[in-house]
């Protein structure tokens, strides 16, 4: 194995960082140099970075009924990119206060879906688009009772219009295969549940 293959760059030099836009989201322009795998430093490079709050996404799951609860809402980022910008997703929200991810998970479940979680199961944490965004996602499975789930929810002050629907787990997984569920967090969580479903059902049923 070569030295380059074993090297771990860790040096970053920020030459200049300026705010280009600040609204609900923020865009920064950054000039920087970073260490390379051969031990040298890169030239000064220019990057724009989308500065976002970290996010929490939760897949509501009823282990007794083997159902997940999914939501549908309009997404401006999908407008013009797909025939239907009302996407099927999970409960999700931003950590925009001094909160722990678990607190956001419980709050968003109530606001977006009228659900209460009796337990949270951490799935993973990940960067959805590190090439241009600072966003970091905390992904969970939430134990819920899906028997009364449904209807339209959301906060009026945030113009939320969210339809809530229980899905048989196999139907939701098929929707991933068919491309009807096309957002990353939902795909990751449903595939994770497909891999770990037996263990999850045994564990959560006895909580």
* Residue 24 neighbours by CB under 8 Å, 6+ apart: none
Buried b (16+ CB within 10 A) or exposed e, 153-163: bbeeeeeeebb
- What gap in Å lies between CA 34 and CA 41, rounded to an integer? 6
Active-site choice (158, 160, 170, 199): 158
**Locus of tokens 């929490």:** 56
Is the separation of the CB atoms in 73 and 86 below 8 Å? Answer: yes
State whether residue 133 is helix, strand or coil: strand
Q: Is 158 a catalytic residue?
A: yes
Torsion of CA 107, 188, 203, 117, to 10 degrees: 10
Beta strands in the chain (DSSP E): 12-22, 26-34, 45-51, 55-62, 67-74, 86-89, 91-94, 119-126, 137-143, 151-153, 162-168
Tell me the catalytic residues.
158
């Amino acid at each position: 194995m070569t030295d380059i293959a074993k090297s771990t760059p860790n040096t970053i030099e920020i030459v200049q960082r300026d705010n280009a836009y600040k609204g609900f989201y923020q865009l920064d322009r950054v000039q920087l140099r970073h260490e390379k795998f051969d031990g040298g430093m890169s030239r000064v490079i220019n990057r724009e970075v989308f500065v976002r709050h970290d996010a929490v996404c939760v897949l509501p799951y009823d282990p007794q009924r083997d159902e997940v609860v999914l939501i549908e809402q309009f997404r401006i980022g999908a407008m013009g990119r797909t025939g239907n910008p009302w996407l099927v997703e999970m409960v999700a929200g931003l950590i925009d206060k001094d909160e722990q991810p678990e607190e956001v998970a419980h709050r968003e479940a109530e606001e977006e879906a009228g659900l209460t979680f009796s337990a949270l199961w951490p799935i993973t944490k990940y960067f959805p688009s590190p090439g241009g965004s600072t966003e970091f996602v905390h992904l969970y499975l939430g134990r819920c009772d899906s028997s009364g789930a449904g209807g339209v929810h959301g906060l009026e002050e945030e113009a939320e219009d969210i339809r809530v629907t229980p899905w048989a787990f196999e139907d939701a997984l098929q929707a991933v295969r068919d491309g009807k569920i096309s957002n990353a967090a939902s795909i990751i969580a449903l595939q994770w549940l497909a891999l770990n479903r037996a263990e999850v059902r045994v564990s959560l049923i006895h909580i």
